[in-house]
Structure 1
Amino acid sequence: MDFQVLGPVEARKGGVRIALSGSKVHTVLASLLLARGRVVSDERLSSMLWGWEPPATAGAQIYTYMSRLRKLLGDDVEIDRRPPGYVLRAPHSTFDLLEFEQLDREGRAALGRGRHGEASTLLSRALGLWRGAALGNVTEYLAGAELARLEEQRLHALESRVEADLELGRHEQLTSELTGLVAEFPLREKLRAQLMTAFFRCGQQADALHTYHEGRKVLDEQLGIEPGEALGATYQAVLVGSLGARSAGPARTAVTVSYGDEEPCDPYEPRPVTLPPDIEDFIGRGEELNTLCAQLAESRKGGGPRALLVTGMAGVGKTALAVRAAHRSAEYFPDGQLFAELAHPDGRPKKLAEVLTVLLRALGVPADGPGRGADLDELIRRYRTRTARRRLLVVLDGAVDSRELDLLLPGSAEAAVLITGRARLTRVAQARTTVLTPFGRDTSYELLAAGVGRRRLLAEPDATYQVLAHCGGLPLAVRIAGSRLAARPHWPVSWLAARLADPDQRLRELSYGGLDLRRVLVPSVRQLPRPAGRTLVRLAGIGTEPFPAERAARHLAEPESAAEESLEHLVDAALLDICGVDRLGRPLYRFHELVLLFARHLATAHRERERSAAAR
């Protein structure tokens, strides 16, 4: 038996299609197949068949559909009743989705190893299994639940195949395909960056730049955001001619880089600017932005703060504010504005030598130049020499701790460093700190309206404020909610409000495309000392009302001093706020609702691991 869902849902035996009638039967079969041998509950089947309003006879109808499938599929397939639902087993059958995923994994692995020809072949075979839009003949409820995930898998495979073909020098053949894909998926930044690369390598620099500016306009109008780092980096690479075009253009005068005691920079050298693109439609943070800009203006005189710190919980908008302030203050730093990430995507801190190498390259040290292989002390010396007497602004994003940050300060009294981080950073010399808190309701509304459109929100005011309440003023959560609604213009706002209303599912719902709230919160927990991490999990049920350390100690059944120490670690990691004092002058702590939901998620995962270990 061959099962197919990458197109209309079908079952074939010996190459002959089995006649399955009606969207309901196709929906039941697809739901069982997508469960991959796990039980599909009656509740899940009911919601996939009828949505929020199942008929009173839903159980009987599901039983009828199962009986019909058993008869049509024959003895090769087992459909068993396993309370609370049904399970499908077909050990000798093929399933196109599983075959696609296997080829996709093998193709990506080959791509990662630099075997581009093999990667292109494998990924092309994977994409060839698609026969149109997946789940083409099921109910709208199943399509709404599963189609976006399947389409995302297809697009990732497609982007990987294009990447392999670009590495194989097939840019001329790719331009027409990519032009069509960008028109079909205008918000897909990686496809747009790949089209820019193909255009540039074909000698069509003007088309590459037009593609970028068109994408920037679309992102602004539809989502209210600026291009991401990858698309912005491709744009910069087009401007400086570093995408491997077939003709290099006019020769450029070499710039001499000195590491001795002579003048550290060429006065005719173009100033380095590696900041992410500015955010034109910046929402909120007006007071904080004005304060940062005033402090940066003060620092250029040599008597102001050497470093400015922006801290706050994950997803609160630290990077967006820092980048905005850096662009607005560019005139104060005519020798350049640099940007470097201090942590990997999973939150692990980068080595200081790695960050210094990024900064030195931006300052004109070639990747294969004298700095290659240098020890840390040599890298620091070159960085200080290279930045001496230069009016630079350096943005360091995602600081984990402050032990080495002083070593990244430029060697100039007229330079400034703007640092973002979740943790409270206390060891940076001459630093001033700006702490970001979640948005209020009005600012959250403006941010959501920027992505969704004000008219759509005004049509459903109650549902809109429910969505905002569930986002808790966290800009990342609001942006994810707006992106989901913008990508599904036919969905009512109340649909998302209903999905976010379930606390057990809220964090899962706050994920879209490359934005995932749970993934952003993980590094904050990983960086905690183990006792503080356990405290967070054990306090998952304490609620969002303010509480003193004494109440936490009772909840944890441990001395108040031990509880207070763990609470302070949580405060330092921006996972807990101090919101005031009680009548005895003791500090009051408060959790953000989304942090508590994440803590409950961790507690549930911990219990499941313990049960699995006990079962073994």
Structure 2
Amino acid sequence: MLNSAGVARRPAEGAAEPTGSGTDASGAIEFRLLGPVSATRAGTVVPLSGAKIHTVLAVLLLARGALVADSRLSTALWGDAPPPTSNSQIYTYVSRLRKALGNYVRIFRKGPGYVLDAREAEVDLFSFERLDRLGRQALEESRHEEAGRLLGGALDCWSGHALENVTEHLLQFERPRLEFLRAQALERRIEADLSFGRHRSLVPELLSLVARFPMDENLRAHLITALHRCDRQAEAVQVYGEGRRILDEQLGVAPGQQLSGAYLRMLRGESADPRRRPHVLLPARAAAFTGRTAEAARLRSLLLRRSPGPGARLRAALVTGMPGSGKTALATEVAHGCAEAFPDGVVHADLQDADGAARPPAAVLAEILAALGEREDTARTARHSLSALVSRYRVRTADARLLVVLDDASSDVQLTGLLPVGPDSALLVTSRGRPAFVSAVHTMSLGPLDDEDAVALLAESAGADRIRAEPAAVRDLVRYCAGLPLALRIAGARLAARPHRTVARFAAQLADPRTRLAALSYGNLSLTRTLGRALTRLTPATAAVLPWLSSVGPGPFTARLAGELTGLPEAEAERALDELVDGSLLFAEPDRAFGEDRYRFHPLVLLHADATPRQELPR
């Protein structure tokens, strides 16, 4: 736009200039700052010519959606000597940028400057910062393998030196900061890889880095450590001697603490091996963990958060939920993900046998001690003295950094003596109810999966293409499984075993409530058997009440109505309902208007209750 004098006229505040001819707004656009500044759309580089237009784009992106004043753009373009027409030239550069980028981003005038809205775009700098932040957190929590992977991904965002094709004025302000962040990420990645035992693969990289940056003491220290762990002490001595000479000749200083420390540890023969990998005795984790990602992240954070000071308490978390809700799968995934933070090991103990009966604490303790390497006389002690086993376990865990996973607890009696005593250890328990010991620990209750996660879980087993091909039948299937992970895994396994059958055909089998539970069985997975084992943990009186409640439907219903249906006094009916809630076979919701609880069934538990024969209740 030009005014009557032929001078470029800026648009009104908040207005965007015309974007040019017929630019399609579909697709994604990517911006690069960590190398030559560029924009790519659908794999094709957007043509931008000249250092100044690249500078304007870089300054707007670095502002992260904040206002960039004309004066800031002027300084980046011309330093302290802007031309008289600087504002008009800035306007021209912005106009060219808008035309080149089209409708993929918005650049609009606001007050004394411009704002670039690129929320839908990919920016390599922002990806680098996110991965670097996650990698730092993983390194601080001793998750070295994950830290190395994340920090390596952050460094992969770089394609050269930052801001290679901008003006010198912007370069002198921004490049040192960005290159410093890159150097920090590289050093952290090397530290993570060394801690994980990748010293052999690191030696060539570190030799190259030390040659490029001969006065970087940290890189040289890492090289000495890696060479030492590869039994190449002579070369390590040479690397140290060369570094000492260079520092003396170039700077007139002696090696600092990190470089001297690495050299002295090598001379004393310390840390010749990388940090030993923790001894992990856990069930295999799922090939692709689906759903519960927020819950998994929360549990990892709880187990890895160490309280400072002498009064630190055991970190403990309890996962509860109805039968088949995925408690064990979640605990296994979290424990595998935390393993590196517990150098003395991760042990798992199942507190129920194959028939659902509680295992004796002495047998569980003997198993855990054997897993920790204390095999001598363990079996004999298990037969004679629980107290002796508890004493040995407490001594073994007093100063250890250990993660103990106790799966499927049914009572406090089972947990007696199984809690690690050291403040540096952590405990993860799964249970259908809430043992009394958990009053001071975090409790996470698992509900049904939402529809999106349920579909993803089906796709994991049956194949994503197959699930996408029949969306209506998949919606029916998800509804029949009612968000229960076990039911969804069984459904996925059955579909995978019959690739020639349609999803709609299997959904039709589940449509009849009378045959749904029978259809949700495959191999050693059986929803009926899982729910039946849950009933065996109830008192006989409460187990007998459950089938009578099926006539009330899904609910909600009150203890008064349950008493009328069963012929029991209301107080006795309420005790039975509370036991069913404690066993996660009913849900309880407070009704604040009437000051009483209301109860409801999960749809699949209701079907099981309706199919269970009714016994006469004692009156």
Q: In the TM superposition, what is the alpha-carbon distance from 1:545 to its structure 2 partner?
A: 2.7
Structure 1 residue ranges without an equivalent (≥5):
1-266, 608-616
Contact 2:290 2:456 in 1 (8 A): yes
Contact 1:341 1:396 in 2 (8 A): yes
How far apart, in 1, do the equivalents of 2:581 and 2:499 lie? 39
User: For residue 603 of structure 2, what is the amino acid of its counterpart?
Assistant: E
1:361 paired to 2:343 = no
- Is the alpha carbon distance of 1:377 and 1:514 closer, same or farther for their aligned partners in structure 2, counting shifts above 3 Å? same
Cα displacement string for residues 532-566 of structure 1 (whole angstroms, at most 9, x for unaligned residues): 11221110121113112222222223322111111
Partner of 2:329: 320
Partner of 2:576: 566
Contact 2:410 2:431 in 1 (8 A): yes
Partner of 2:99: none
1:516 paired to 2:526 = yes
User: For residue 362 of structure 1, what is the amino acid of its counterpart?
Assistant: A
Contact 1:338 1:394 in 2 (8 A): yes
Partner of 1:336: 345
How far apart, in 2, do the equivalents of 1:587 and 1:370 lie? 48
User: For residue 555 of structure 1, what is the amino acid of its counterpart?
Assistant: L
Q: After the TM superposition, which residues 225-244 of structure 1 pair with which residues of structure 2 at under 5 Å, given as runs?
A: none
How far apart, in 1, do the equivalents of 2:607 and 2:436 lie? 29
Q: In the TM superposition, what is the alpha-carbon distance from 1:363 to its structure 2 partner?
A: 0.7
Partner of 1:291: 298
Contact 1:314 1:524 in 2 (8 A): yes
Cα RMSD of the aligned pairs, angstroms, is 2.2
User: For residue 328 of structure 2, what is the amino acid of its counterpart?
Assistant: T
Contact 2:314 2:425 in 1 (8 A): no
**Which residue of the other structure, out of 285, 289, 293, is the alignment partner of 1:282?**
289
Contact 1:305 1:432 in 2 (8 A): no
Q: In the TM superposition, what is the alpha-carbon distance from 1:310 to its structure 2 partner?
A: 0.6
Partner of 2:596: 586
- Is the alpha carbon distance of 1:501 and 1:337 closer, same or farther for their aligned partners in structure 2, counting shifts above 3 Å? same
Contact 2:369 2:378 in 1 (8 A): no
Contact 1:300 1:415 in 2 (8 A): no
Contact 1:422 1:573 in 2 (8 A): yes
Structure 2 residue ranges without an equivalent (≥5):
1-273
Cα displacement string for residues 140-182 of structure 1 (whole angstroms, at most 9, x for unaligned residues): xxxxxxxxxxxxxxxxxxxxxxxxxxxxxxxxxxxxxxxxxxx
Partner of 1:310: 319
Partner of 1:272: 279
User: For residue 458 of structure 1, what is the amino acid of its counterpart?
Assistant: R
Moved over 3 A (4+): 267-271, 299-302, 367-374
Contact 2:451 2:478 in 1 (8 A): yes
Partner of 1:545: 555
Contact 1:538 1:603 in 2 (8 A): no
How far apart, in 2, do the equivalents of 1:554 and 1:289 lie? 42
Contact 2:319 2:443 in 1 (8 A): yes
Q: In the TM superposition, what is the alpha-carbon distance from 1:351 to its structure 2 partner?
A: 0.5
How far apart, in 2, do the equivalents of 1:497 and 1:340 lie? 37
Partner of 1:73: none
**Which residue of the other structure, out of 455, 473, 477, is the alignment partner of 1:445?**
455
Cα displacement string for residues 182-207 of structure 1 (whole angstroms, at most 9, x for unaligned residues): xxxxxxxxxxxxxxxxxxxxxxxxxx
Q: In the TM superposition, what is the alpha-carbon distance from 1:585 to its structure 2 partner?
A: 3.2
1:596 paired to 2:606 = yes
Contact 2:352 2:408 in 1 (8 A): yes
Cα displacement string for residues 475-514 of structure 1 (whole angstroms, at most 9, x for unaligned residues): 0000000000001000111111111112121111110011
Q: In the TM superposition, what is the alpha-carbon distance from 1:427 to its structure 2 partner?
A: 2.6
Give the 3-state SS of the residue equivalent to 1:309 in structure 2. Answer: strand
Give the 3-state SS of the residue equivalent to 1:382 in structure 2. Answer: helix
1:470 paired to 2:477 = no
Partner of 2:489: 479
How far apart, in 2, do the equivalents of 1:353 and 1:471 lie? 38
Partner of 1:418: 428
- Is the alpha carbon distance of 1:269 and 1:365 closer, same or farther for their aligned partners in structure 2, counting shifts above 3 Å? farther
- The percentage of counterpart residues that share the same residue type is 43
User: For residue 611 of structure 2, what is the amino acid of its counterpart?
Assistant: H
Give the 3-state SS of the residue equivalent to 2:304 in structure 1. Answer: helix
How far apart, in 2, do the equivalents of 1:269 and 1:312 lie? 36
Contact 2:559 2:598 in 1 (8 A): yes
**Which residue of the other structure, out of 455, 465, 468, is the alignment partner of 1:455?**
465
How far apart, in 1, do the equivalents of 2:451 and 2:579 lie? 29
Contact 2:356 2:533 in 1 (8 A): yes
